[in-house]
Amino acid sequence: MSKHIVIIGNGISGITCARHVRKLSKHSITVISSESEHFFSRTALMYIYMGYLKFEHTKPYEDYFWKKNKIDLIKKFVKQVDTKNKLVLFSDGSSIGYDTLVLATGSKSNKFGWPGQDFKGVQGLYHLQDLENMEENTKGVSSAVIIGGGLIGIEMSEMLRSRKIGVIFLVREKNFWDNILPVEEAKMINRHLGEHHVDLRLEAELKEIKADSARRVSSVITNKGEEIPCQFVGLTVGVSPNIDFPKDSGIETQRGILVNEFFETNVTDVYAIGDCAEFRVPPAGRKSIEQVWYTGRMHGETLAKTICGERSAYSPGHWFNSAKFFDIEYQTYGNVPNVITTPLSSFYWEHSSGKICFRLVYDFQSKNLIGINVFGIRMRHEVFDRWLSEGRKIDYVLEHLPEANFDPEFYRKYEPEIIAQYNMESNKNLKLKARKGLLATFFK
């Protein structure tokens, strides 16, 4: 029987769900967003500002795709959901009925009630509208302050530096993103920020934002009492689930919309996925709220199966993630805590340039691979995923490291250096097993 599936939110979670429902069924599908008519890649917003791309390049599908796949798009703002009558109510007074409702409303930027946080020239970066505001707010600006040392903060730094705007970056922690990264990696990024003339101020917090008579930001005051003149303030202290209207609709929420492992909310036929969902019981080793592109996609894939009749629990594989900090690429597979303590141990190698490194986390007793961090070298997701599943020992991983190398041809290979250091530290004599060179081209 054909149902009407209404999905609120056209980000990666909602759209993945819609696409997979379409592949698996003939249900009618409507996707609602007030942000943009078509799906775009949120992670690419920075490249629009920097001039690498235009907005249309960030749309992963050509515009004809939606009609061809019979996915209806509505660009309206949702005011409330009437779960009793199964209606979505829009701000313009109109409404639409549903059989199954998927909430994929994403996040919104955190603001912690700082004095002056609503002055002109103060903003976060999450929505397309934030990007438009940033374009406007940074016109003629020569100096900016960014608050919060995470991924969006460093992206915003890169954006501003691409326009030669001076950036002072206030980070509460001892090192950049060190609530996620171990200290060596975090310090590497500290140094790289300096190379790009970002003035990084560690253990610095925002106290107050001051404005001129036109209510435009003129300076910030830090927890150390220092006043920093600026014309733009980026607030990038994380994001939290966007749950304004679900909260008013009788759908149970806490920090996010509460769901079980099937993404079911407390209301029948209403589901929540992506950034806005909060697991009542998170999957093993996972957080209760997952705010990553990749997890959003997996939520959407999984829920589509449930909607199409095969009730499926969310069961993610090994953790992975990636990012890019100015020029330094970062990949991680498996689990790498920021502080590595028993029963875990780690091996760390850093290239003399100070811009390339590799960390291997393992179980001290069993010597099993737990996770890796890699900066400045590309490695194969498939290989590490397999090694993690197979429970490989670190000696095996190090010997077979060339197999995992995903760097382009002619790139320098660092595996010999890595294994040499490991041999020295552990008094072993491991040798590299695989090869990846020009000759191998002819023989594989």
Partner 1 sequence: MENNPSISISNPLPPETDTIQKIGLILFSIGILLFIIAGIGVGSEKPILFFSLSIGLSVGGALIYFIKKYLKEPAGVKNNRVWQNSLTSRGIFGFIFGIIITGFYVVLYWFPSVLDNLIRLMDPLSNLIRGKDADQWFLYGTLYTLAIVVMGIKAILKYRHSNYQIVRTSSIMFFQLGFAYLIPAVLQLFNHPEFYFSYFWPLKYEYLFPSTVNYLSEQPGALGVFMIFWGGVMTFIATPILTYFFGKRWYCSWVCGCGGLANTAGDPFRQLSDKSLKAWKIERWMIHSVLVFIVVTTSLLWINSYYQGAVLGNISGGFAKTYGFLIGAIFSGVIGVGFYPIMGTRVWCRFGCPMAAYLGILQKYISKFRITTNGGQCISCGNCSNACEMGIDVQAYAQKGQNIIRASCVGCGMCATVCPRGVLNLENGPLKGRINDNPILIGNKEAKLIL
Window 382-421: residues binding partner 1 (CB under 8 A) = 382, 385, 406-412
Which range touches partner 1 (CB under 8 A), out of 51-59, 75-83, 251-259, 420-428? 51-59
Quick check: 52 and 163 in contact, CB under 8 A?
no
Task: Report DSSP state, residue 111.
Answer: -
Least distance (Å) between residue 236 CB and partner 1: 18
Name the minimum Å distance from CB 136 to partner 1. Answer: 15
3-state secondary structure of 201: strand
Q: Which stretch binds partner 1 (CB under 8 A): 162-170, 181-189, 267-275, 415-423?
A: 162-170
User: In this chain, which stretch among 124-132, 169-177, 270-278, 310-318 interacts with partner 1, using CB under 8 A?
Assistant: 310-318
Copy the structure tokens of residue 220: 């910030």
Find the DSSP H helices in 149-203: 151-162, 183-195
List binders of partner 1 among 83-122 (CB under 8 A): none
> What's the maximum distance between 2 C-alpha atoms anywhere in the chain?
73
| Inter-residue contact 209 to 115 (CB < 8 Å) | yes
Contacting partner 1 within 16-45 (CB under 8 A): 19-20, 23, 41, 43-44
> How open is the CA angle 123-125-129, to the nearest 5 degrees?
85
Residue whose CB is less far from partner 1, 55 or 348: 55
For helices 151-162 and 183-195, the axis angle rounded to 10 degrees is: 10
Site string for partner 1, 238-277 (x = CB under 8 A): ----------------------------------------
Our finding on whether 13 is near partner 1 (CB under 8 A) is no
Does position 132 interact with partner 1 (CB under 8 A)? The reply is no
Question: Which of 3, 305, 393, 400 contacts partner 1 by CB under 8 A?
Answer: 305
Q: Are 6 and 101 in contact (CB under 8 A)?
A: yes
Contact 231, 143 (CB under 8 A): yes
CB of 194 or CB of 285, closer to partner 1: 194
Residue type for 70, please?
K
State the number of binding residues for partner 1 (CB under 8 A).
76
For partner 1, which residue of 25, 28, 322, 338 counts as binding (CB under 8 A)? 322
- Sheet of 206-211, strand order: 206-211, 217-222, 227-229
Smallest CA-to-CA distance from 281 within 251, 305, 297, 260 is with 260
Question: What residues between 52 and 81 interact with partner 1 by CB under 8 A?
Answer: 52-54, 57-62, 64
The single residue among 166, 282, 337, 402 that binds partner 1, judged by CB under 8 A, is 166
**C-beta of 247: minimal distance to partner 1 in Å?**
29
Q: From CA 267, how far away is CA 270, in angstroms rounded?
A: 6
Q: Which stretch binds partner 1 (CB under 8 A): 107-115, 193-201, 245-253, 272-280?
A: 193-201
Regarding 133 and contact with partner 1 (CB under 8 A), the answer is no
> Are the CB atoms for 219 and 234 separated by under 8 Å?
no
